[in-house]
Chains A and B, each alone.
Chain A
Amino acid sequence: MAEIRAEEPASTISKTFLIKPKLKSKPRSLPQTPESKYWSSFKSTKIPNLVSSISSLSFSPSPPHLFAAAYSASVSLFSPLSLSDGDVSPSSTISSFSDVVSSISFRNDGLLLAASDLSGLVQVFDVKTRTPLRRLRSHTRPVRFVKYPVLDKLHLLSGGDDAVVKFWDVAGESVVLDLIGHKDYVRCSDCSPVSPDLFVTGSYDHTVKVWDVRVENSRSVLEVNHGKPVEDVIYLPSGGLIATAGGNSVKIWDLIGGGRMVYSMESHNKTVTSICVGRVRKENDGAESMEDRILSVGLDGYMKVFDFGNMKVTHSMRFPAPLMSVSFSPDCRTRVIGTSNGIIFAGRRKGKENVESGRVGNVLGFESISESERRVLKPTYFRYFHRGQSEKPTEGDYLVMRNKKIKLAEHDKLLKKFRHKDALVSVLSRKNRENVVAVMEELVARKKLLKCVSNLDSDELGLLLTFLSKNATMPRYSSLLMGLTKKVIEMRVEDIRNSDALKGHIRNLKRSIEEELRIQHSLQEIQGIISPLLRIAGRR
């Protein structure tokens, strides 16, 4: 008993330290927000059995947007099209490396691929033939990153554990500039999307430096301090903001504002290893627009989606392994995440295959800018006419109620249009006594009743006579209707003589009048009996 008891706490403690791998990635935020729906719509495919940690992932800027994954001493190219068919084998693999590949980068036309390895060598491959075209050797220590500028085909940027950032002329295999300034390993960099001359590098000395190759003395233009060893740095699409990842925080900096920190996102529990820019499709006022997000992955196995417009995390997703790298395809249809145990989680969205295939290649590197412009609704769109109609009022809005519509009966509408006879006919056919009398009174007030009666054709006259024969003797209406009955018979005597149906109505009328006379007679008789009695009773 005692032994077992002693074991139990130990086992529970050991359980808490285990990271229990979950088999399926699971969205953590509520699924009903449109954004998490969007992120969940990436149909996940697992590419297993790559040898070790996926150190780098990169998409080709030209369609069909192949992506390359660097793991161990090889680089594999995958086709996203085959991913959707469930084919997870690489389309081709480059394995002419002597050490672990640390970083890969596509040129902006997607024809060349640069890769660096820990031996200090940077190689440039032809993507199609996979032959190494150039070998750039100058680094003395492992190279940690290599980067093609976004707007430049001729140069290359690399840096590594020797704390030197080198700017290469690729064709001549020569170093153009040695940028010295970092005091520790340089781990990452990114090139400005708006200028071919600007780039940032991040280092383990906690700083991120902005470089300009036009500056003569090879000193950094600007320097920001992240506070933790910097693992990754990216330019945001505007070119004015950068995001840095280091420790378990992602920070956003305003370069134009002199290196001011805009926001610090600290929702990861462990070190953030990689960030990239993702894009989400947004329905806004009926206008469809693309908004940019920062995707960040960390060793805690989470991928977080950060909206840097509203400064909040809009989606997070858990994966069953520490994550090392992330990338998002330019056509917004594929996102890939590499783990430390050699698995790539590739997500692919359904969609039209040739959405942007035509234009992105032509615009070259500009796509990140041009696509960020919102799609403005024009009157040629059908949706233009529905914009804002589905808008729901928010809490503080003052509601202006539309006046309640007054429902008018048909005869009221006709009276408003001065179609007096039509109004009379329509109300007579409805068989509502009060309404008929009310319409007649209104016609009297307009001095139009007799005119109406003289204009009725024989069917309509029949309607009127039916009404009169039923209601003329009603005490409430008799003062009006008896007079009217008399007038009607006087005015339309010729028509009545010519029509048998009308004669029938007149016969009915006569019968009801006789009935009424009989009632009045008997009432008078009763009154004659009662009144002397009352008189006598009053006297006593």
Chain B
Amino acid sequence: MMRGGRSLVSSPPAFSNDAKKLLVCTSNTVSVFSTVTGLLITSLEGHTALVTSVIVVPPSNPAAKVLCYCWTASLDGTIRYWDFSLPELMKTIDIRMPIFSMVIPSFLDVPAEENGKHQDLFAYVSIEDAKETQERTKASRRQIRKCNLSKSRLVGRLILGETRKPEVLTVSPSGKFFGIRNKCKLHIWKVLDQGSERAAVRKITLHHTKKITVIAFHPTQRIIAAGDVTGRILTWRGFGNRAFAASNGVADQKLINVQEDKPGVRDNDDADSCSTWHWHSAEVNVLSFSSDGSYLYSGGKEGVLVVWQLDTGKKKFLPRIGSPLLYFIDSPDPTLSSISCADNQIHLLKMPSMGILKTISGIKAPCCYPDMYEGLGNGIAFDQTAGIVAVRTENYCIQFYSLFDDRGVSEVQVCERNHQPGDDVTVIVTSVALSIDGSLMSTSEVKLAEEGIGGLVCLKFWDAGSQNKEFSLSTIVYEPHRDAGISAVKFHPSGNMVVSSSFGGDFKVWKCNHDVIQNDQMRQNFSWTCHAVGSYKKKPMTAAAFSADGSVLAVAAETLITLWNPYKNVLLAVLGETLTPIVNLSFVGKSDNLVAASCGSNPQLSVWNMSKLSLSWSYKLHIEAVASAVDLSSFAALVLLPESSKKTTFKGMDGVILLFNATDPVPTVIWSVRKAKGGALCFVQVSPSSVEEISIDGKAPEVLLAYMNGDHEYVLFDPYCKDAREVSVSQKEGLAAHDHKGQAGQYGYASIYGELPEFDRKRPEAPWVPSFPSDRPWETIFSGSSHNLPPLTKLCSAFLESLLEKRTAAAE
């Protein structure tokens, strides 16, 4: 079993100490990416639920920079300690409560080992206490607690705070403070020096009138910044001067209170001043101080990273990121940082110039469109031979994602529009189809009308260049079916024919004309023209499919299935009738069966026998997707479970995948899945090139079934292997790892002076006793400067030896 397509942006990532690795929480695992190549190096597997925090242990001294230890916390209630270079699990702490967030402020004080006693390491966790439901209200079950990591337990009954929602803890870079946001308030705790574990932690609260979304601490000074839902950024300076600094003098406090005037600070909050910046139009999601504390980075829904100069309030922008920002992480290397975007991309930034160096590209999330366009299909197309899936994305692109490598391959912009997050959607990519060899693509898009004026349907044909998989536009057809929308686009198995069916009552067969232009480079020029138009009783055409040999074209005319000869455009037969309109047609491999899925109030899965032209069997099932392999007699269907059966039989699972043999109405295998709505299915052929990577119990499977759920997470498995369902994938570690040294990864000493010459490497190569290449070796032994010469004792023996050799040669 191979999983992939997980979200890279569920929690903030973390850089390793040498800034060459990026640790990213990907659902149950932590993936370690190389920042140089952007490829996956390894992953830490062991958690059984979503990993919510990953914290890299900072180096205590410069030599410890190479150490790769990290703490992770997860919703499964465990905190784990890893060595992520190997990777190896070192320690597990089970606190039996889901952890939403964890911070470890006191790393800096830990290596006080010279006094013999290893001091305890404390973490602060945001958890949900599931046990105390009876006596407490639900509101107060989310708690902030302290955990002793060295002794592997929570600290007594010490509850620092309680919140209504699980809140994210934020720690200051100096490790002295941590805080949370709680609606319109900020709570800040001061971490006391290594006292007893029960030492009471002091807390202050700052108030604001709007809901606060994110907070950040200044690395050196007592400054805290917070962003709110309206896009304002508030900066409190000198917070906690009273509560944290002047600890005992109550009388003094009062005195100060009277005299001070504190501009901008609300109520009687404990801060010197509060200033406000407002640039963001929507809520602020990202807030981070630079490591020297002179700049503040902020970002939000606009997808623009703003750099504020802290003293002057001057701004600099990194615009056109194209997606709302979620996290900004500074690395130990001052020239590198990362931003995580909502479209599942992590961009590595080259720092002072803010150029995007590399992108770690996850699969993009499905885009949500207005309801009226829901039924137009999920916009997912598979390239069965190469194992690549094409998904439409929010920024009018088609993303190509490699299922085997679990990373984005390329992106093709379909519409010539700039996408700005938060804009109204005016263009929708309705469908995407790929030819079997993956070299041709067809997309259709709808420009939405403004109150009935100016809507436009557009069909586009693309072809890929020979070497690189860059698609280029070959033909645009405006209004292919007048103003009617396109219901389906399908490629002929040979690849030079496309059928597009429309709700307007006709379908068109498009044919490809190759022109090979004899330029300086051979370049194929594809142009597509309409080959035939067909309609059946003016009924809307809702689905279309070519048979495996390409001789029959099946087009669904609402409830009927019409069969055509695609070359001559002759109606062959009409198959008879389902209860509701058919939305999905598919021929089952090379067999003479046709699967039709209809939806609506009376959903139906029906299998038609082509030789008898009759219905062989049918089920009343709500079908989300159907997949059939080219040379198999079976097909798989993704079924949405009705609401009634969901709770009782299938604990939270909302769909099943059924694998049928086309002639047999009894499914051969059933798998239950989550998030089936909007999912997709496909049989993926395992090409010989990737066979050595994928093996199941030693032998390679011919075909894998790919299931992609509504969140675009996918799983690849062998549908015919009953017991051993584990698909082991040998990691392509070498690919990512060997780029580590050299090139871009240099900084500090190496970037200024270049690599140090490797003295040790040289020594074994150059032999200790000099060799004598000339035929009169005694002449060369003593040549060279004196400090290079070997000791005299060795030289003497060599000298004598050379003389002896000469004599034997003379004797011969």
Contact = CB atoms under 8 A, between A and B. Distances in A.
A483 interface: yes
B450 A450 contact: yes
Contact of A480 (B426, B427, B451, B454): B454
A423 to B, nearest CB: 16
Contacts of B424: 447
B811 interface: no
A487 interface: yes
Nearest to A451: B450
A479 interface: yes
Given A479-B479, A479-B483, A445 B447 contact: yes
Contacts of B451: 450, 487
A449 interface: yes
B449 interface: yes
A483 B426 contact: no
Contacts of A446: 426
B453 interface: yes
A479 B483 CA distance: 8
B523 interface: no
Interface residues of B, number: 14
B126 to A, nearest CB: 43
A154 interface: no
A87 interface: no
Contacts, number: 39
Interface in B445-475: 447, 449-454, 456
A444 interface: yes
Nearest to A487: B453
A417 B302 CA distance: 18
Given A444-B447, A479-B479, A449 B453 contact: yes
Interface in A436-463: 440-441, 443-450
User: Interface residues of A: mostly helix, strand, loop or mixed?
Assistant: helix
Nearest to A484: B453
B151 interface: no
B453 A445 contact: no
B417 interface: yes
Given A449-B454, A480-B454, A484-B454, A444 B449 contact: yes
A475 to B, nearest CB: 11
Nearest to B449: A444
Interface string B651-663: 0000000000000
Nearest to A446: B426
A34 to B, nearest CB: 43
A153 to B, nearest CB: 59
Contact of B456 (A441, A484, A487): A441
A447 B454 contact: no
A106 B251 CA distance: 93
A444 B453 contact: yes
Contacts of B450: 443-444, 447-450
Interface in B393-443: 417, 424, 426-427
A441 B454 contact: yes
Contacts of B449: 444
A276 B426 CA distance: 83
A445 B426 contact: yes
Interface in A456-505: 479-480, 483-484, 487
A444 B448 CA distance: 8
B454 A440 contact: yes
A445 B452 contact: no
A443 B456 CA distance: 13
A443 B426 CA distance: 11
A487 B453 CA distance: 9
Contacts of A443: 450
Interface of A: 440-441, 443-450, 479-480, 483-484, 487
Given A443-B450, A446-B426, A447-B450, 11 more contacts: A440-B454, A441-B456, A444-B450, A445-B427, A447-B426, A449-B453, A450-B450, A450-B451, A450-B453, A480-B453, A484-B454
6 contacts: A441-B456, A445-B426, A445-B427, A448-B450, A449-B450, A449-B454
A-B CB proximity, top 8 nearest: A444-B454, A483-B453, A445-B426, A480-B454, A444-B450, A447-B450, A484-B453, A449-B450
